[in-house]
Amino acid sequence: MIIDTHLHPTNLVDEAWRHTGTPFNGERMLKLMDGPYWINGKPRRIDMGFIQPPPGNTGYRDGNRMGREGIRDYMAYIAELCQKYPDRFIGNFNYNPRWGPENGAAELEFHVKEYGFKMLKLHANMHGYRPDRALEWLRPAMKKCAELGVVVLIHTGDGPYTIPTMFYPIIREFPMVNFIIGHFGIQTGGNYSFESFWMAMDTPNVYCESGWCFQSRIVEFAKELPKDKIVFGTDSPPNEPGMWLRELEVLCHEPPQGLGLSEDDLEGYLGNNIAKLVGIDPTPPPRTMDEAKARLTDTYAGVKRGAGQAVPA
């Protein structure tokens, strides 16, 4: 399977990114995921994706409910989609400590147990805190992640609060939690990809998300990193997934544009690495055109998603 770690469907126009037109809802997201996208000469789709609300929709607005009720409100559409399309969507809990750290931790546990969420998102810039100093704001949720086996995805790549090394204190305090450096440390405001690379090299529980990384740099990084250390994530919308799939496919080409990667190792980057982190059975790449075409409509009814979370046919 191809599994995207970073998707933002919404039922209202995002209030920070200010996308125009109609909301990019779950059905539009599925159409985008379905492609097909051609990888090594075969048609593929993004089979599953971790979904979260756009972070601009997770702050307080006049008229919001407060505390746990307010958190449940901004996560409601994601929970709805995970129930409606359990074979395609996996929940990612967007944690804003300004709603109350203990409230957020309690709601994380609720969403994991009620809806099968497997990931938590930190966005210190959008929510306005220094992650290296606001440790008391982060600890309650990190303790729940450790208890429940939840992976943490960190927005990184721009100042003032999402420079990757600013998260080292919480990462080192929770070595039993797996952390993904979102965007490979790159955003419109900066390029911290080398920081992200060395964090993943030096720290067993740190991984890097492929999207936003420069193509020539990811060749360098993939050559040195352990093969389980890169996961596929697009940040869609606003991004178009095909360009990030192509960036990883190029790794199968010969040097200098690629590094002669095998299709099995590419499948690790595309989905199996994150699958193993969250308890989903890994799958081999399609070996034939017929097999690839059959997978375009597969419901993955037999794929294990962890205890009590078998995907229905």
Helix (H, G, I), strand (E, B) or coil at 196: helix
pLDDT single digits (tens) 267-304: 999 999 999 999 999 999 999 999 999 999 876 534 55
On whether residue 304 sits in a domain, the answer given is no
Phi, then psi, of 93 in degrees rounded to 5: -80, 115
- Is 307 within a domain? no
Report the C-alpha dihedral over residues 221, 225, 205, 276, rounded to 10 degrees.
Answer: 110
Is 311 a member of any domain? no
* 167 touches 131 (CB < 8 A): yes
CA distance 206 to 216: 22
Share of the chain above pLDDT 90, in %: 86
Burial group, residue 214, by CB count within 10 angstroms (0-12, 13-18, 19+): middle
Structure tokens at 282: 């890994």
- Which has the closest alpha carbon to 66: 104, 94, 92, 93? 104
* 12, part of any domain: yes
Amino acid identity, position 120: L
Residue range(s) defining the domain that contains residue 153: 3-288
Angle at 191 between CA 146 and CA 188, to 5 degrees: 95
| DSSP state at residue 238 | T
Which tokens in the block code for residue 54? 């756009």
**What is the structure's pLDDT at 51?**
98
Residue 112 lies in a domain: yes
Q: What is the pTM of this model?
A: 0.94
Residues of the chain under the 50 pLDDT cut: 301-302, 306-313
Which tokens sit at 29?
Answer: 């997201």
Task: Give pLDDT tens digits for 233-268.
Answer: 999 988 999 999 999 999 999 999 999 999 999 999
165 phi, psi to nearest 5 deg: -70, -15
Decide if 300 is inside a domain: no
In CATH, what number is assigned to the domain containing residue 165?
3.20.20.140
Question: Which amino acid, residue 223?
Answer: K
Closest CA to 187 of 218, 165, 155: 155
**Within-domain flag for 163:** yes
Position 293 in a domain: no
**Which tokens is 138 given?**
């982060």
Q: What is the pLDDT of residue 77?
A: 97
What residues have CB less than 8 Å from 34, skipping those under 6 apart? 45, 46, 296
CA distance 77 to 26: 9
- State the maximum Cα–Cα separation within the chain, in Å, rounded to a whole number: 57
The pLDDT value recorded for residue 301 is: 39
Question: What six digits make up the tokens of 275?
Answer: 């699958």
Query: How many domains does the structure of the chain reveal?
Result: 1
